[in-house]
Chain A
Amino acid sequence: MDEKDLKQSKKSTTKNDIVLNDDDDVWESESSPDEDEDEDDESEDDEEVDEDEDDEEDIFKNDSEDIEDEDGINLLTTVSKLQSSLKKPEKERRKLVSEATDENEFNLPTNGNKLSLNDMLAAVDSSISKDAILIDDDSKALSAPLPKRIQQRHDRAVAYEITKEEISKWEDTVQQNRQAEVLKFPLNPTVKHNDAATTFKSDNVPTTELEKKINDVLKESALIDERKEATFEEIAVAKLSLEDMQKRTNELRLMRELMFRDEKRARRIKKIKSKQFHKIKKKERLRAQELVEGSDLESDGEDHDMKRAQERMSLKHKTQSNWAKTMIKSGMSKDASSRAELEEMLRQGEKLRSKQLGHEEGDQSDDDVSDIEKEYNNDINNDSIKSKLGKGVLAMDFMKNAEERNKQENLKQLEELRKLEMDGDLQAFEENSGIVNITKNQGRRVYTPSSSGMKDDITQLNEELREEIEDDESKNLTNKLSKKFNIISSTVTSTTTNSTTTKDTIKSVQSEVDQGEEINPWLTENSEPIKKSHKITTVDQDSSKLSKAAAKIAKKASKKHGKKTGDDELIDIDETLKVLTTHQGQDSENEEEGEGISQDDSKMFKQKELIKEAFAGDDVVQEFEIEKKRVARDEDDKHEDVTLPGWGDWAGGSKKNKKRKVILKKIDGVVQQDKRKDKHLKNVIINEKVNKKNLKYQSSEVPFPFESREQYERSLRMPVGQEWTSRETHQKLTMPRIITKQGTVIDPLKAPF
């Protein structure tokens, strides 16, 4: 048992000592074990066992320790003793084996020696031998066993120690779990492999009679071939390499994806209820179709015929349809959408009519001016129709005016076009209205810098272009002449026949002209009327989008005609240089002055005095002191007198002159005057007002797990949200510490063995 072992181990050390002290001659005691045992058996069983064990141990220990104990004994005896102790056990054992006689108490082994009385007495009488233990005055009685309660107490203590040791083995695991950033429960999930797929076997074996029949028929007619079915896919796939496979799958995936998206979009579009949207969509579709047809050039005549028939049936191209009539009648045509519809119809009709006349569809774009004029005339007719239509907005004055303006514009354009046709393309650039930037509504002012700037840009661009063309044409002799006289004539274009033969002569003249231009570019610049003022604009982060855009456009424009602006800059730089030089001059003068001062001390005094004189009026220090006092007074507690005059007095004439009791009401200030933090500080006013609005966003003290304010601040510094961190970080930061799985038993921690 445990307790016994423990007791032994505890007692063993002390017992050894006792034995050693008692036994002087070991082999003697060894020689008489039987006698010892006889005596001991009667006394205590437990002790006997102990003693025996101890004796055995002693054999090995004695030889060394005996020598130490008995230094006084002569060498001979010790040597003999040693020898005997070393040899004895072997001899004894041999003898025991070879003994022939019966073993009983009267026939004891003698070890070859004759037994004497002394030998026998030695065990008993201590006077004869020191080794006598049977009658020993010094030998002690063994202690009685402990009472059961105390014994149990000891047991418990030991058991507790063992249990503690045992349970401390969990320490590491527990620490690990406590410090883990994420704990996923159950901690050691049993992985369940889904082997259904591997073990699943489709039972193709026909069971019912009908199935059997059909199967037979199929087999007979060789329609069923399992191998074929199975291997088809394999062969097709097996031929492909891995990359091809991947490519193929990718392609398929892309296709699927696109189809899916298309479907989704179609569904979404289908959901849209706006009629107008659908109309526009339809139109688009039609137009696309037309384009396609145009490219085909009506290759499939039958289809085309069908379509025409449909058109005719639907009366889409005439204003005689019921819908169109009602539209016109009810003045609904003013509605933009329906008007567009009407126009569409008319256009369709026009197209058809032209087809009937034998025109091809694409012709219209290359119409002559005459055609346009024709159309315009038609328009005028239409206008007359329109004017009949109703009063609405179109009948209003401003609309009419606008229309008139439009007409004028159109007429002008027509004129130009005609000219162009007659003269060539030079004139096109004469007026800026010819190109993109047609101001449609003159009554509207445009404030955006972009548009106005653009306009200017375009005018300039036109100018340049014109010049270029002129230059080109000045290569011709005739043109040169005409240019010299500053005639930009209409005849220029008509005589565009090149004259390469006269090139040499032209060159010289040209160079002359160029020189003339280059002599004084400023002059030419000046001679032209300045159309816009170049403003220096600074664009920084704070400036609005508008200004940014404007700046950008300006930059672009400057790039376009970099020459001019470059010149401008040159001038600027020169000017600034001049300014700089003048400043430098002044500075050098100043420096000289400074040196002069440093040389003369008296002058420095003067300087000080000067400063004093300059700041004579404002006594800063005193002002500060006053302000500090004022602040302290203002923020101090205040006492208000709230005594009511006449309160508690008798009314009437009998007035006694009694002392008035003053009732003071204390109003708490920010901080008491003598408790101010800046009371003993010079040159400082500490604001001790607490901003209550800020309090909401401040933690009153450093919260528990944190040790300092900085630490806490640091914990709040990095935002967690997706706007501020990467996806991975976000997920990592928001991962909950404990993750449990719903409906799963969380088993207690278990030892892995």
Chain B
Amino acid sequence: MKIKTISRSSDQYVPVRNTQESSLPRNLNPALHPFERAREYTKALTATKLERMFAQPFVGQLGDGHRDGVYCIAKNFNTTNQVASGSGDGIIKYWNMTSRDESVTFKAHYGMVTGLVVTPTQSRMLSCGDDKYIKLWSVNHEEFDHTFGEDEVYNNKNKGLVKTFLGEHAFKGIDHHHQDDVFVTGGLSIQLWDINRSKHISDLSWGADNINTVKFNKTETNIIASSGSDNSIVLYDIRTNTAIQKVVTSLRTNCLSWNPMEAFNFVSGSDDHNAYLWDMRNLNKSINVYKDHVAGIMDVDFSPTGEELVTGSYDKTIRIFRTREGHSRDIYHTKRMQRIFCVKYTTDARYILSGSDDTNIRIWRANSSERASIKSTRQRNKMEYDNALKERFKHMPEIKRISKHRHVPKVIKKAEEIKRIEINSLKKRQENDRKHSKQGSKPYVPERQKHIRGTAIKEDN
């Protein structure tokens, strides 16, 4: 039997490029493509399932890690593949992520390395510790003799050292200005240093308590945020050389991160298991609350795109949040990973680094089902189409269920359950209180204000 088909021979026309494949003519008649929504739904479902099937977040670890817990990671903002890390035994390492190997190692401090940063101009490491020292290190092999082995690291402490600053107290947290040669340190007081001077140039302290974290704004570069042991978050401006605003929260803030794309927004990770997004112009309430962790958040970092943020918690998990959503998009954990003390996005927003108590620095994919391999146009188009479909049908019950499903460690699951019960009972009690007290005497407090005790400079709204 001969079947007659409509065919258009490609011999009869000249394609634009000779490498171009002759495209298949499509018939757009809707009668020929019925059930579009049903078909697209099915495609979306399949795509969602495939995404979960291909979800493999863990990439690997950096070298052999440290000998003690990793308590700080700093990224080099000029490159995508270089990071520095500091551990509890005073060792700092500079890593090449491409080879996943360390390029230099120094015994930097006695005791813990409490702060580490890579200077933006010359790519040097600046570390501070409990031993009242701030040290500037070179990471270029040419500048020093880098022949000693790992055991010698503990003895050779002066190689690669460029400069030492002696302080009056132990330091906690350090950050470098994004353009100028200025850095700021936390501790008993918050001090501003010029890298070319040996003494600090100004003291910005407000209040008497310890400062744990200091962070320079990356966009509006003269603004600093710090969090202290007195449950406060303080903002400073180095142009007017003063602290400018202070907000006190119910529990301690462990970490801060400025949004690199939105100059006035920053996120803080708190001991009350939540992270909060703030607008520095109005600290009477936070903009968003990121819930899901079941222990205090130890570190938080914004993605360079400003669309997502990653949190590392004391509950041994990493969670990724979308900036404008309240619950996590993904949770990462492994059996052997202990309490997490530092997480960082890489500068190309593709990977996440985590340092934890178990001495390892782990590399994760920011998007667990994504692969780094180069894709053909067809493949890329397909993935884009799939993503669009997933986004479109994400509210359908089955797709929602599949895309949300995660295997979570039993401990965390249990903790979540307990937490839920606690919160519910608390709510119930408050509700009862409200019922049995004078109307209006116990107003509802929005979730975004609950954690705030007050601000130093009062505002109307």
Contacts and interface: CB of A to CB of B under 8 A. Distances in A.
A270 interface: no
A736 B307 CA distance: 13
B42 to A, nearest CB: 11
A738 B307 contact: yes
Contacts of A152: 242
Interface stretch (B11-19, B186-194, B430-438, B443-451): B11-19
Interface in A682-736: 695-700, 703, 712, 715-716, 719-724, 726, 730-731, 733-736
A174 B30 CA distance: 41
Interface in B267-291: 280-281
A183 B305 contact: yes
Interface string B381-395: 100110111001101
28 contacts: A152-B242, A164-B280, A167-B223, A177-B261, A177-B306, A185-B305, A258-B11, A260-B18, A699-B397, A703-B395, A716-B37, A716-B393, A720-B40, A720-B392, A723-B26, A731-B381, A734-B385, A734-B388, A735-B384, A738-B305, A745-B78, A745-B347, A746-B349, A747-B304, A748-B304, A749-B262, A750-B219, A751-B220
A748 B30 contact: no
Interface string A620-642: 00000000000000000000000
A177 B264 CA distance: 14
A160 B305 contact: no
B263 interface: yes
A163 B282 CA distance: 12
A174 B26 contact: no
Query: Which bracket fits the contact residues of B?
Result: 35 or more
B270 to A, nearest CB: 23
B123 interface: no
Contacts of A237: none
A280 interface: no
A114 B385 CA distance: 102
Contact of B398 (A260, A696, A712): A696
B76 to A, nearest CB: 9
Contacts of A238: none
B280 A167 contact: yes
Interface stretch (A126-134, A136-144, A249-257): A249-257
Among B28, B43, B305, B396, which residue has the most Cβ atoms of chain A within 10 A? B305
Contact of A719 (B40, B80, B223): B40
A724 B304 contact: no
B77 interface: yes
8 A-B pairs with the lowest CB-CB distances in the bound complex, closest first: A748-B260, A746-B304, A748-B218, A160-B244, A159-B240, A703-B395, A719-B36, A734-B388
Interface string A239-259: 000000000001001101110
Contacts of A749: 218-219, 260-263
A325 interface: no
Interface in A30-78: none
B37 A170 contact: no
Interface string B300-335: 000011110000000000000000000000000000
Interface of A: 2, 152, 155-157, 159-160, 162-164, 166-168, 170-171, 174, 177, 183, 185, 250, 253-254, 256-258, 260-261, 695-700, 703, 712, 715-716, 719-724, 726, 730-731, 733-736, 738, 740-751
The main secondary structure of chain B at its interface with chain A is: loop
B41 A697 contact: yes
Given A160-B245, A734-B385, A168 B264 contact: yes
A54 B398 CA distance: 78
B301 to A, nearest CB: 13
B11 A159 contact: no
Interface in B386-412: 387-389, 392-393, 395-398
Contacts of B158: none
B178 A748 contact: yes
Contact of B348 (A164, A698, A734, A745): A745
A724 B385 contact: no
A721 B242 contact: no
Nearest to B35: A719
Given A697-B396, A698-B397, A751-B219, 6 more contacts: A167-B280, A250-B14, A253-B18, A699-B396, A734-B384, A749-B261
Interface string B76-109: 0111100000000000000000000000000000
B350 interface: yes
Given A170-B219, A748-B304, A722 B77 contact: no
B223 A748 contact: no
A170 B304 CA distance: 17
B33 interface: yes
B361 to A, nearest CB: 20
B184 to A, nearest CB: 16
Given A159-B242, A734-B387, A257 B219 contact: no
A747 to B, nearest CB: 7
B18 A740 contact: no
A42 to B, nearest CB: 34
Contact of B372 (A712, A733, A742, A750): A742
B397 A253 contact: no
B49 interface: no
Among B18, B78, B395, which residue has the most Cβ atoms of chain A within 10 A? B395
Contacts of B418: none
B423 interface: no
A735 B304 CA distance: 20
B215 to A, nearest CB: 12
Interface in B49-83: 77-80
Nearest to B400: A699
Nearest to B373: A742
B166 interface: no
A723 B387 contact: no
B39 interface: yes
Given A167-B223, A174-B262, A183-B305, A700 B40 contact: no
B237 interface: yes
Contacts of B40: 719-721
Nearest to A695: B397
Contact of A733 (B41, B235, B388, B393): B388
B426 interface: no
Among A167, A171, A716, which residue has the most Cβ atoms of chain B within 10 A? A167
Given A253-B14, A700-B397, A746-B348, A174 B261 contact: yes
Contacts of A735: 384
Contacts of A160: 235, 244-245, 457
Contacts of B398: 696
A174 B263 contact: yes
A745 B77 contact: yes
A256 B305 contact: no
A174 B261 CA distance: 7
B243 interface: yes
Contacts of B264: 167-168, 170-171, 174
Nearest to B75: A745
Contacts of A167: 220, 223, 263-264, 280-281
Interface string B233-273: 00101001011110000000000000011111000000000
Contact of A257 (B14, B306, B392): B14
Nearest to A750: B219
B201 interface: no
A157 B457 contact: yes
Contacts of A257: 14-15, 18
B384 A736 contact: yes
A722 B347 CA distance: 35
B14 to A, nearest CB: 5
A736 B26 CA distance: 25
Contacts of A185: 304-305, 349
Contacts of B235: 160, 163
A733 B384 CA distance: 9
Interface in B334-367: 347-350
Contacts of A716: 37, 392-393
B421 interface: no
